[in-house]
Amino acid sequence: MDEAAIRAGRGPFAGQPGQLDAPFWSTPPELVEQMLDLAGLRPEDRLIDLGCGDGRIVLAAARRGAQALGVDVDPQRVAEARSAAAREGLGRLATFRQEDLFETSLEEATVVTLYLIGYVNRLLEKRLRSRLHPGCRVVSHAFGIGSWQPERTVETPERRRLYLWVVPSAPYSNSR
Ligand SMILES: C[S@@+](CC[C@H](N)C(=O)[O-])C[C@H]1O[C@@H](n2cnc3c(N)ncnc32)[C@H](O)[C@@H]1O
């Protein structure tokens, strides 16, 4: 999907504070840990949470010793996340930026986490598949990513779904 199609899909004000592409819902703490387990997060990983909310996934990754970045377009969420990182003394590993997730540079990530909504994931599919390095793991809470077939799908006893993808070494060639 090209940039014009993404802009059309998101609408004219997307990416500005107050114009969320996905609402603020939080992943429950035990599910955060399951997402990191599913990703096989290690201390040498660099995680990015696109749409980080209060920063809980980033903070959990930092507690496990990984570098982690959270981006959120909502300044209130970013302020909350930064305060939590400071309270826990995680500021060296956990960083947060107020940023439109469609603008986030993904090339450094070895793990990407998502809890957005289905159509936003679909708009992100090409970006994720073409910019992430081979071997990067992507874990999404609740929603698939367009036509990308997950390697694993986990259903929790509470009937929540987690999906895992691992970026293959073959370059992504779909031009949609
Ligand atoms: C469902 S919440 C997920 C929060 C967190 N990742 C979690 O799992 O608990 C989605 C978050 O995405 C943020 N968001 C929505 N549109 C965004 C955009 N275009 N750029 C950055 N963040 C965005 C919202 O402010 C919200 O905090």
Residue 126 Cβ contacting ligand 1 at under 6 Å: no
Residue 77 Cβ contacting ligand 1 at under 6 Å: yes
Output 12 or 170, whichever has higher pLDDT.
170
For residues 74 and 113, the answer to whether their CB atoms sit within 8 Å is no
Residues 66-94, mean pLDDT to the nearest whole number: 98
Question: Which residues, 6 or more positions from 32, have their beta carbon under 8 angstroms from its beta carbon?
Answer: 56, 57, 60
Amino acid at 167: V
Q: What is the pLDDT of residues 122-161, one digit of tens each?
A: 999 999 999 999 999 999 999 999 999 999 999 999 899 9
For residues 156 and 162, the answer to whether their CB atoms sit within 8 Å is yes
The Cα 87–Cα 98 span in angstroms is 19
Other beta carbons less than 10 A from residue 151's beta carbon: 13
Residue 70 Cβ contacting ligand 1 at under 6 Å: no
Residues facing 112 on adjacent strands: 48, 138
DSSP letters, 4-37, are HHHHHHH-TTTTSTT--SS------HHHHHHHHH
Cα 166 to averaged position of ligand 1 atoms, centre (Å): 22
pTM: 0.96
Residue 57 Cβ contacting ligand 1 at under 6 Å: yes
pLDDT averaged over every residue in the chain: 95
Cα 116 to averaged position of ligand 1 atoms, centre (Å): 6
DSSP letters, 120-164, are HHHHHHHHHHHHSPTT-EEEEES--BTTBPPSEEEE-TTS-EEEE
Q: What is the pLDDT of residue 13?
A: 76
Q: What is the pLDDT of residues 14-35, one digit of tens each?
A: 877 788 999 999 999 999 999 9
The residue written with tokens 């826990």 in the block is 88
